[in-house]
Structure 1
Amino acid sequence: MILVLAALFLAAPASADEVSSGAAKALLAKYPSVLPKLQHNLFGAPIYLDSFENKGTAEVDMYGVFNHPFHQVKDALAVPANWCDITSLHINIKACTAKQSGGTWQVTMYSGRKYYQPPGDAYPLKLAFRVVAQQPDYLSVALQGDQGPLRTKDHRIRLEAVPLDDGKSFIHFSYSYRTGTMATMAIKSYFATIARDKVGFSTVAGQDGRPTLVTGVRGAVERNAVRYYLALECFLDALQVPEKERFERRISEWYDMTARYPRQLKELEKNEYLTNKRRELQNQLALKKAAGAGPVAGKNNEES
């Protein structure tokens, strides 16, 4: 009987806490292996990026160190509304709302062009927000949506964080989406014409065999992942100043951080970006105020 009970105990599924503990250990175990890449890379910052494109799916994994204690990271990034203040720093996000319905949070990002647009002219990318785990030594949050602009599908954003010994936090951020047949054709046409000079951060072998920066969909996903990653860092940095100063701190710092990589990320001059974001903030506040009035109709828009 004792042997039977022991077998049943060993076969029992792991609890949520055990799964989270395992995930925390796995992420922390990743840190030593990527540390050399965090110390020496093209970003000039503790950031490591890896990406792939396969059968219509493009995905980026980023690892990095934030100079913020884990408790601050955990408390801030587990709040759905804070993700609107984060993602709206992205040059293509025109506004963002977070709304709870039936116990489920939905974050809607209005995705548009690099220039100023009201949210009604942007695509409402609806993402279900979920705190996967929130433990004393581990945070995991996920945002996912079925449909995106230009008929893209399966948009996924995932963030994991664990504490480091020196009062900093180790971050794993991933971003991906899938393109169907029609979306692939449209996107390939876009990157073959208007966006033919746009590049990402990874290097691949060029036609002559020499290393060259990745282009196309993979390059686009890398650019967007870096923009979101830097927005996370800017949001946390701004928590150090009084609340009334945080918005201006975020938008100014985000621009300056992205300006370090002009070939990949520069689209506008700083003055225009700041002016656009101030106008977009007013639109976002209006959407928040009218949250019960229903969604704003949107249109498909290309990446900047």
Structure 2
Amino acid sequence: MQKRFWVSWLKCLLLVWVAGSACAAMAKTDAVATLLAKHASLEEQLRQNQFKRPLVLDSAELPDRLKGDIYAVVDHPFGTVTAALNDPNHWCDVMLLHINVKYCHAMEGQPGTRLRVNIGKKTSELLINVARVEFNYGVAAATPQYLEIVLNAKDGPMGTSDYLIRLEAVALPNAKTFLHLTYSYAVNFAARLAMQTYLGTVARSKVGFTVTGKGADGRPQHIGGVRGVMERNTMRYYLAIDTFLGAAGAPLATRVEKRLQDWFSATEQYPRQLHEMDRGQYVDMKRAEHLRQQTVR
């Protein structure tokens, strides 16, 4: 009697495991199909757009959340993308290219991998003077066709919270890869007040990428406000990813310098939105921050 019980129990356990594995496989297949369908639906926009590269940017301002999405085709095989981005230390190298990121360190432990990220001004700063955000890093999926990396953080600076950075990648023909980057965070009243102060002073002339109309001179007018902030930062993170991928094949001794120079060159393609300082200022600041990233733990 007892033997039959244990045999039945093991059979049930096996069925649950098989069913769970099948469901997980179906979910990954669905994710691939969904992302490829999105690529097909954006084919015309990827071919013709203001960015002069296969890229589409969307943003949204919700009552308590800001969100940016970028869809792009990169000229790198899926295997190269996976090798480069399926590593938390590489994500620190990516994030440090962003002009506001002052430091990043990947830490293994319980309950999992975390990225300790310091975010500050567009100038050199001591770490003690800048805000720290702790991202949980996770690989949601990694198959021969599909990669999904998720970074999230409960708390952020100045009334922001619930940060999400999510990257999906799917293989395309001709050694290309289709990427979907999501960047979003929640905002409370204090965060909105701080943003309004920022937008009314130092950032009053800054805009995003979404075209809202044409001026009297026929030139495009771009969205401003908090959506403009979100679009600029989403683009900065995307250009950091693309730059990191582009430098992956460079000799190790020149890789960091290539990333810095290439990221700055990429942002200067959109000076209306992204220009903040000259090349020498950016490169000197980031060289020092990269050295600090290697020596401070």
- Which residue pairs with 2:246 in the alignment? 237
Q: CA deviation at 1:211?
A: 6.2
SS in 2 for 1:149: coil
- Which residue pairs with 1:35 in the alignment? 43
- Whole-Å separation in 2 of the counterparts to 1:118 and 1:21: 46
The equivalent position to 1:26 in structure 2, one of 7, 30, 34, is 34
Is 1:117 the counterpart of 2:125? The answer is yes
**Compared CA separation, residues 57 and 207, structure 1 to 2 (3 A):** farther
- Which residue pairs with 2:279 in the alignment? 270
- Whole-Å separation in 1 of the counterparts to 2:40 and 2:25: 24
Task: Give structure 1 stretches of 5+ with no counterpart.
Answer: 1-7, 291-304
- Whole-Å separation in 1 of the counterparts to 2:36 and 2:273: 30
Aligned residue type for 1:59: K
Tell me the alpha carbon deviations over residues 123-166 of structure 1, each in whole angstroms, 9 at most, x when there is no partner: 11111000000011000010001111211111110000001111
Is 1:95 the counterpart of 2:118? The answer is no
Q: CA deviation at 1:215?
A: 1.2
- Whole-Å separation in 2 of the counterparts to 1:236 and 1:29: 24
**Compared CA separation, residues 270 and 57, structure 1 to 2 (3 A):** same
1:80-159 → structure 2 map (5 Å cutoff)? 80-102=88-110, 104-159=112-167
SS in 2 for 1:15: helix
Quick check: 1:118–1:280 contact (8 Å CA) kept in 2? no
- Whole-Å separation in 1 of the counterparts to 2:193 and 2:213: 24
Tell me the alpha carbon deviations over residues 46-94 of structure 1, each in whole angstroms, 9 at most, x when there is no partner: 1100111010211111100111000111122110110000010000011
Range that drifts further, 85-94 or 213-222 = 213-222
SS in 2 for 1:101: coil
Quick check: 1:118–1:283 contact (8 Å CA) kept in 2? no
Range that drifts further, 46-55 or 188-197 = 188-197
Quick check: 1:56–1:179 contact (8 Å CA) kept in 2? yes
Report the structure number with the largest CA radius of gyration.
2
- Which residue pairs with 2:182 in the alignment? 174
Tell me the alpha carbon deviations over residues 152-197 of structure 1, each in whole angstroms, 9 at most, x when there is no partner: 1111100000011111000000101111011111211221222111
Q: CA deviation at 1:207?
A: 11
Q: CA deviation at 1:15?
A: 2.1
Normalized against structure 2, the TM-score is what?
0.89
- Whole-Å separation in 1 of the counterparts to 2:93 and 2:35: 26
CA RMSD, Structure 1 to Structure 2 (Å): 1.9
SS in 1 for 2:60: strand
Quick check: 1:56–1:184 contact (8 Å CA) kept in 2? no
The equivalent position to 2:71 in structure 1, one of 63, 68, 74, is 63
Tell me the alpha carbon deviations over residues 242-261 of structure 1, each in whole angstroms, 9 at most, x when there is no partner: 11111000000000000000
- Whole-Å separation in 1 of the counterparts to 2:38 and 2:136: 28
- Whole-Å separation in 2 of the counterparts to 1:206 and 1:43: 17
Quick check: 2:86–2:139 contact (8 Å CA) kept in 1? yes
SS in 2 for 1:197: coil
How many residues are treated as equivalent by the alignment?
278
- Whole-Å separation in 1 of the counterparts to 2:128 and 2:174: 45
Normalized against structure 1, the TM-score is what?
0.87
Quick check: 1:146–1:155 contact (8 Å CA) kept in 2? yes
Quick check: 1:198–1:219 contact (8 Å CA) kept in 2? yes
The equivalent position to 1:261 in structure 2, one of 270, 290, 293, is 270
